[in-house]
Structure 1
């Protein structure tokens, strides 16, 4: 009834490490694939939103400058 604890050999440890790295690589690949698909599906709306925000900011700056300029000249 004496139980012997099993110790992994260096080769077994390498095999386990290799398996773990393969699984991590597969998960990373799936994540990257999902992110690329998201960009492919949404690039148009993302670009539109970015351009719209930029235009709004420029417009606000221009209006603020005009308002500031007109109030200081009065």
Structure 2
């Protein structure tokens, strides 16, 4: 079962691209999470795995790609 409901594939692709670029720039996971928070996103652990959410409303955007999982 997926937590993500009604997401636009274009938006998901842009968000994944953004968080991937920010991960390459960050020296640690903590810095990376701080950097993406500046763009209005966070990574949260759930029973379904790690998901990317918007801040401050915590609306799920997509699941975190496996290669970015901390």
Structures share a fold, TM > 0.5? no
Larger RCO: 1 or 2 (CA < 8 Å, sep 6+): 2
Q: Which has the larger radius of gyration?
A: 1
Structure 1 or 2: larger helix share? 1
Structure 1 or 2: larger strand share? 2
TM-score normalised by structure 2 residue count: 0.29
